[in-house]
Amino acid sequence: MLRIFTLEEAEAAEIAGIDLASAPSELVTHPRYREVAPSLFTLTGRTHLEVGSADDHLRWAGEMLRAGADCIYYSGSLDRIEYLAKEYIPVVGHVGLVPSRASWTGGFRAVGKTANEALRIHAECVALENAGAIAAEVEVIPAAVAAEISKRLTRLSLWSMGAGAGCDAQYLFAMDILNDPTNRDLSGTAHIPRHSKVYRDFSAEHARLQRERIAAFNEFRTDVESGVFPTEAHLVPIAEDELAKFRAALPPL
């Protein structure tokens, strides 16, 4: 599973045989999204901080499914998840380190390193399953804890981000796999997390492209200042007789 931000990443995921993707709504609703990623099972959503009433949320979820999403992410209450699930909206919850409610678990840190914390995560997963969720992102908890919880769930699929291989899917951000500073800016994330792995270094390529960009802009400025650009090849011609008529019709200088 990948978190993707662009059509290029969606197409690459499709060709590479990635099974699941999480994508922002503006990507899922792009008219070419399903053209480039026809089989990518795609999650989109809003956190509980970004949605309105239950009815507003239901309408929005329906719009996303019609646009091409396969399921909807939600980080909030079980009541809302149950409400959406009862209307046949496939909903994915979130347990462990949940960024939109990290203050409730002590900030941006691993969760579930004590027996009591681990039991609370298990209880959350059971509650999500009972509320009708189809899956849960399980983020930054001990792998052994995630594996034990996964064994005991009958319907809820667990998607691991930094929670080991004992879940049903491995989830990383494409921008981390690629060390891509462009999409990192889009996400607002400043660093590569410990649980991720860099497979390609796009940052070096972006640095090279920036040097080339600056050089090209400098050359353009120099050509304009020296009169080298534009040349006749870049201009729209006009017949001499038409130009003469035009000049004759102009007011005198």
Active site residues: 139
How many angstroms separate the Cα of 88 from the Cα of each of 39, 59, 82, 156, 222? 21, 12, 10, 15, 62
3-state secondary structure the chain: CEECCCHHHHHHHHHHCCCEEECCHHHHCCCCHHHHCCCCEEEEECCCCCCCCHHHHHHHHHHHHHHCCCEEECCCCHHHHHHHHHCCCCEEEEEECCHHHHHHHCCCCCCCCCHHHHHHHHHHHHHHHHHCCCEEEEECCCHHHHHHHHHCCCCCEEEEECCCCCCCEECEEHHHHHCCHHHHHHHCCCCCCCCCCCCCCHHHHHHHHHHHHHHHHHHHHHHHHHCCCCCHHHCCCCCHHHHHHHHHHCCCC
